Amino acid sequence: MIRMIKTYGYTDNTQLSPHFNAQEFRCKCGKAHDFQIDDDLITKLETLYSTLNCSKIIVTSGFRCAAHDKAVKGSGTGQHTLGKAADICCYGQDGQPISSKTVCCKAQDTGFTGIANITAAYIYTHVDVRSGGKWYGDEVHGNSSVTDDFYKYFGGEDMKGIDVSVHNGKIDWQKVRAAGIDFAILRAGYGRLASQKDERFVENYAGAKAAGIPVGAYWYSYAMTPEEAELEADVFLSVIKGKQFEMPVYFDLEEKKQFDLGKEKVSAIMRAFLERVEAAGYFVGLYGSASSLVTHTADDIKSRYTIWLAHWVDQTNYSGAYGIWQHSEKGSVDGINGNVDLDIGYKNFPTIIKAKGLNGYGKAANLTPAEPDTTATVIVTIGKDTYKGTLVKE
């Protein structure tokens, strides 16, 4: 198939289609230079507009010159530099952004060959019409392809979860599953001694697995230095060795004496544990209250690792990104005597973790395709209009 990639001048305001103008796609580097747009990109964006019944689609990034692409942490040779890509925000008829989860699924149906969620808020989506293969990504979790089917990856409704320890007593996991619980985070232990393994961890792991409930784990910390945190990490790794976790494994730091050390030292303790466990092949995260995440957790930690937010309110006002929200400590679930912590999961962690080959699962291949150079520059006259452009052969 031969496809036209046209070149436009910086001030060109050609109406490309009913809902898209050339001006929306010019480079945002601030310099007045030409830019390119692939006709197929516009055709598919119009189809997506109709499929989603949009009120508008905002193009936040279209063509990028090599310098601008590098400035925004691109490679300088990616799909944006070829005029084949757009980062977009789609709005419904109610005027609200449509979830990137929905946009990714519909973009898949539309035939975009490159698709990715861009942010943890699931508002912005990358789409492109690359040749030579597919890339279905989720940039919250890196730049690798994460799935071959977004419908399976995002998994529909939010997940209902619990987190438990020895303090919850003996649990009937079959009843827990029947009660609609989709995942469980298990306390593996605490401190830096092997003897401090949670007394019901092995039992809870086996019971949840037998009931078909995806599990994660957490380690409660008393570390006062990075060195002590590394010792805790080593014990944690020895306790979870040989097991598979569909959910992340978390570091839980919440002692007052630790917070009294101040943000800088607390963050150093967090990094020591998280980096050591991550290096061992695990998808790691940090458990923390809304206040501790704001006052005692460095930004680089919150941006690198998934967050398990603890905020026991009906609606949290925590503005940072988080993958799980522990919203109650006084829940009731059939199969568990007494109160139990209740959680909501917002990401399809089992798919993410298995695709990455982490938490005891085998290594996954990087599915991002290499792309051959199959382009040629041409000048085409159509009626009174003359276009300088690039032909792409597929």
The answer as to whether 141 is a domain residue is yes
194-207 pLDDT, tens digit each: 999 999 999 999 99
- Count of beta carbons in the 10 Å neighbourhood of residue 339: 14
Q: Which CATH number is 352's domain given? A: 3.20.20.80
The answer as to whether 153 is a domain residue is no
Residue 374 has pLDDT above 60, yes or no: no
The answer as to whether 261 is a domain residue is yes
- Determine phi and psi for 102, rounding to 5 degrees: -70, -40
The answer as to whether 362 is a domain residue is no
Residue 142: predicted pLDDT: 79
Using CA atoms, how far residue 73 sits from 64, 119, 143, 385, in Å, is: 12, 14, 11, 36
Helix (H, G, I), strand (E, B) or coil at 372: coil
Same domain, 183 and 298: yes
Query: Across all residues in the chain, what is the average pLDDT?
Result: 90
The answer as to whether 283 is a domain residue is yes
Domain of residue 124, residue span: 2-145+368-393
Which tokens belong to 196?
Answer: 């401090």
Same domain, 90 and 197: no
Q: Which CATH number is 114's domain given? A: 3.30.1380.10
Same domain, 82 and 204: no
When divided into structural domains, the chain yields a total of 2
Same domain, 324 and 197: yes
Instruction: Please tell me whether the overall predicted TM-score, pTM, comes out greater than 0.75 for this model.
Output: no
Same domain, 117 and 190: no
Same domain, 90 and 133: yes
Same domain, 351 and 374: no
Using CA atoms, how far residue 353 sits from 14, 17, 116, 128, 332, in Å, is: 45, 40, 17, 25, 29
Rounded mean pLDDT, 12-31: 97
Nearest to 270 by CA among 290, 238, 244, 293: 293
The answer as to whether 345 is a domain residue is yes
Residue 162 has pLDDT above 80, yes or no: yes
Same domain, 223 and 340: yes
271-283 pLDDT, tens digit each: 999 999 999 999 9
Same domain, 170 and 305: yes
Same domain, 332 and 381: no
Q: Confidence class of residue 2 from pLDDT cuts 50, 70 and 90?
A: low
The rounded distance, in Å, linking the Cα atoms of 290 and 319 is 9
The rounded distance, in Å, linking the Cα atoms of 162 and 37 is 48
Cα 54 to the chain's mean position, in Å?
Answer: 24
Same domain, 298 and 274: yes
Poorest-confidence range of 144-148, 168-172, 176-180, 189-193? 144-148
Q: What residues contact 145, with CB distance under 8 A and at least 6 apart? A: 134, 135, 136, 137, 366, 367, 368
The answer as to whether 262 is a domain residue is yes
Contact 197, 232 (CB under 8 A): no
Rounded mean pLDDT, 25-47: 96
The answer as to whether 82 is a domain residue is yes
Same domain, 225 and 268: yes
